[in-house]
């Protein structure tokens, strides 16, 4: 089916991002929120949005399994924007993401939807490592209803007293499988322990193994489960389709023969990824380089170059392997 996002852009949608719901009005959302979603480019709910938003709106803990690109971010953005009270100026919702790029992307979706709501609008802010903590503390002294960030930076802000959690009503684990991995589990569990006992927890991921569900059990209260048919198989297929590391000549040959808008090339080692981006650029295929150890300003510049279509290729380590969406 061909859906028109706006007068300038058209996209073909597969069955995992289209549903039989005519509009978000069918989900009984408040009219201002439906209008805001429409203005942000969300005319019709995807299957995961149709299934998960009504459950999340009533305050239940929810585990949502669906592959990247099916609209999971708009699910929790919609739930949180309806839930926050404008009479309270301190944070009421927390969104945790495993990478800076995913945190910024989720924040941008929340902001885009909130911008269509009547004044005064809910305020959101994003907090990630690599940027001055003093600036973070200054922003938290202003009104902020929804906090989005990476676990390490949010732990630091809570520990310093800059981030107050007494009014928190909801927490989102975006890409829960990564957040509950060995790298993040301690910080995530500690943050959730700092929240009020009566809170809603929403967990999103493309895959939920039995081990992950066991890890989630002590962090949630009788969660409802939303699983799209084939979500696990789709995630596995997407992983298998990642471009394998190959000789530069073979890669250049592939790029010269395959029609594409933009592409991501994954490397398992940072030096190889950086070298490959320079080699592709020198060969006439401008490429950006992205890895976790780049300064935050450089990472943001690389993402903007791709989204602005100033480069067609981005060479990355696994920092982009999950959750980051590109239209083309």
| Architecture field, domain 2-231 | 3-Layer(aba) Sandwich (3.40)
- Choose among 5, 49, 305: nearest CA to 202: 49
CB 56 within 8 A of CB 26: no
**Distance, CA of 303 to CA of 299 (rounded, Å):** 6
Give Rg (Cα) of the chain: 20
CB 44 within 8 A of CB 209: no
Give 62's strand partners. Answer: 202, 224
What is the distance in angstroms between the CA of the first residue and the CA of the last residue of the chain?
A: 17
Range 49-74 average pLDDT: 90
**Distance, CA of 96 to CA of 204 (rounded, Å):** 11
Provide φ and ψ at 162, rounded to 5°. -75, -35
Per-residue pLDDT of 76-100, as tens digits, reads: 999 999 999 999 999 999 999 999 9
pTM (predicted TM-score): 0.68
- Choose among 178, 110, 128: nearest CA to 299: 128
Burial 65-102 (b: 16+ CB within 10 A, else e): bbbbbbbbbbbbbbbbbbbbeeeeeebbbbbbbbbbbb
Rounded percentage of the chain residues whose pLDDT exceeds 90: 49
**Distance, CA of 27 to CA of 15 (rounded, Å):** 19
Give 4's strand partners. Answer: 10
**What residue spans of the chain are helical by DSSP H?**
31-39, 47-57, 72-83, 100-114, 133-140, 151-160, 176-179, 185-194, 210-216, 231-240, 248-257, 270-282, 296-307
Q: Which residue has the tokens 């401008």?
A: 286
pLDDT at residue 124 is higher than 90: yes
Per-residue pLDDT of 214-244, as tens digits, reads: 888 889 988 999 987 655 544 444 443 343 3
pLDDT at residue 32 is higher than 50: yes
Which of 4-8, 89-93, 190-194 is predicted with the least confidence, judged by mean pLDDT? 4-8
- Choose among 231, 173, 185: nearest CA to 211: 185
* Topology match between the domains 2-231 and 242-320: yes
Extents of the domains making up the chain: 2-231, 242-320
CATH class, 242-320 region: alpha beta
Range 305-314 average pLDDT: 81
- Choose among 212, 204, 211: nearest CA to 228: 204
**Distance, CA of 270 to CA of 286 (rounded, Å):** 18
More confident residue, 320 or 93: 93
**Band (64; pLDDT cuts 50, 70, 90):** very high
């Amino acid at each position: 089916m061909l859906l028109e996002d706006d007068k300038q852009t058209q996209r073909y949608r597969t069955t995992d991002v289209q549903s039989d719901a005519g509009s978000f009005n069918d989900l009984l959302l408040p009219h201002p929120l439906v209008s805001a979603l429409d203005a942000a480019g969300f005319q019709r709910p995807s299957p995961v949005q149709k299934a998960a938003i009504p459950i999340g709106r009533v305050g239940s803990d929810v585990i949502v399994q669906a592959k990247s690109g099916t609209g999971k971010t708009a699910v929790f953005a919609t739930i949180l924007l309806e839930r926050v009270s404008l009479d309270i100026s301190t944070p009421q919702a927390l969104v945790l993401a495993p990478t800076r790029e995913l945190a910024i992307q989720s924040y941008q979706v929340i902001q885009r939807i909130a911008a269509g709501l009547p004044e005064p609008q809910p305020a959101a802010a994003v907090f990630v490592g690599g940027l001055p903590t003093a600036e973070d503390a200054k922003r938290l002294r202003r009104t902020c209803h929804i906090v989005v960030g990476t676990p390490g930076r949010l732990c630091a802000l809570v520990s310093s007293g800059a981030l107050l959690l007494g009014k928190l009503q909801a927490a989102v684990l975006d890409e829960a499988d990564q957040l509950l991995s060995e790298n993040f589990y301690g910080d995530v569990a500690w943050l959730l322990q700092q929240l009020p006992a009566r809170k809603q927890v929403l967990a999103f991921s493309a895959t939920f193994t039995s081990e992950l569900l066991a890890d989630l059990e002590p962090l949630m209260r009788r969660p409802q489960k939303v699983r799209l048919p084939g979500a696990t198989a789709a995630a596995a297929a997407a992983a298998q389709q990642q471009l394998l590391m190959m000789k530069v000549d073979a890669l250049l040959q592939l790029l010269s023969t395959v029609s594409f808008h933009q592409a991501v090339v994954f490397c398992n080692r940072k030096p190889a990824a950086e070298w490959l981006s320079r080699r592709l650029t020198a060969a006439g295929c401008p490429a950006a380089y992205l890895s976790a150890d780049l300064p935050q300003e450089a990472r943001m510049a690389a993402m903007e170059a791709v989204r602005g279509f100033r480069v067609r290729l981005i060479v990355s380590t696994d920092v982009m392997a999950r959750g980051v969406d590109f239209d083309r």
